Amino acid sequence: MCPAIAVNAPVGVMDSGVGGLTVLKHLTRQLPHEHFIYYADSAYAPYGNQSAIKIQQRCFAIADTLIAQGAKALVVACNTATAAAISPLREHFPLPIIGMEPAVKPAAAASKNSIIGVLATTGTLQSAQFAALLEHYGHGVQVVTQACVGLVECIEQGQLDNPHTIALLETYCQPLMAAGADTIVLGCTHYPFVRAHIQNIVGPQVTLIDTGAAVAKRLQQVLAEKNLLHPVKDPFLGNAQDEPSELKPVFLTSGSEETQRVMQQLWQILGTI
């Protein structure tokens, strides 16, 4: 255990914007006794078309903010930020840091015809991390990638059902369908917000995969290894500090009041799916 870190300290979760809320929902379900502070860097979103250096600068600034809030661990709930910044973050900060990666491995295992599609940002698809994923897990399968330019911006504005958003999804899904993909990776944490539209476009025979649940399990494992799991209430001793139902995530953002409104809107939507 890290002696300077309290087990009841919060876990910091960062993303380029609101997309990481889909990961946060998995985290709160997997670890209902933990406190979470979520930071949406919406003033600088999207990360997908920015340089690695710029993304690293933003990730370091956000990490400083979350650690100043007492974070005992960090979750980089953004595929692009993980690809650009996870290694320097781990080298610089002495606390556990969990990252994301597109679910190429489980998609390859799930595919029945060995054709998988990947929807992601340009930054993720061009990263060395993604190339390494293909090298390790892409053998024996055909991987069809599609950069979804402009989609993050639509979701950042809460335009989940907007005709323009749906038109973008149709455009980006078409090459994957044409290639015969039977499994599609949602390679950006924003995309699960429009999962229903994607499923409607590609059909029920296509399996959609994201990594939120796997990240939540990984965080639980790491916190347990470090003896940093928040204690669960003993109903007989009455020694818990918080009931799970009382634990509301704290939402921070570099964006505007509108970002705060969209975050609250999307968080409520996640509670219904």
Give pLDDT tens digits along the chain (273 positions): 444 678 999 999 999 999 999 999 999 999 999 999 999 999 999 998 899 999 999 999 999 999 999 999 999 999 999 999 999 999 999 999 999 999 999 999 999 999 999 999 999 999 999 999 999 999 899 999 999 999 999 999 999 999 999 999 999 999 999 999 999 999 999 999 999 999 999 999 999 999 999 999 999 999 999 999 998 765 554 554 444 444 789 999 999 999 999 999 999 999 877
pLDDT (0 to 100) of residue 30 = 96
The encoded tokens of residue 180 equal 């015969």
How far apart are the C-alpha atoms of 213 and 30, rounded to whole Å?
8
The encoded tokens of residue 60 equal 């370091």
Q: Nearest to residue 102, comparing CAs of 3, 211, 243?
A: 211
To the query of whether residue 2 is one of the catalytic residues in this protein, the response is no
To the query of whether residue 78 is one of the catalytic residues in this protein, the response is yes
pLDDT (0 to 100) of residue 1 = 43
Angle at 56 between CA 54 and CA 59, to 5 degrees: 110
pLDDT (0 to 100) of residue 233 = 65
Q: Where are the domains of the chain?
A: 11-100+212-270, 104-209
pLDDT (0 to 100) of residue 9 = 96
Binding residues for substrate: 15-16, 47-48, 79-80, 189-190
Q: Which amino acid is at 177?
A: M
How far apart are the C-alpha atoms of 273 and 266, rounded to whole Å?
11
**Across the strands, what pairs with 38?**
13, 251
Fold topology of 104-209: Rossmann fold (3.40.50)
Binding residues: 15-16, 47-48, 79-80, 189-190
Fold topology of 11-100+212-270: Rossmann fold (3.40.50)
Residue 163 CA neighbour count, 13 Å, CB half:
0
pLDDT (0 to 100) of residue 61 = 98
Active-site annotation holder among 59, 78, 148, 154:
78
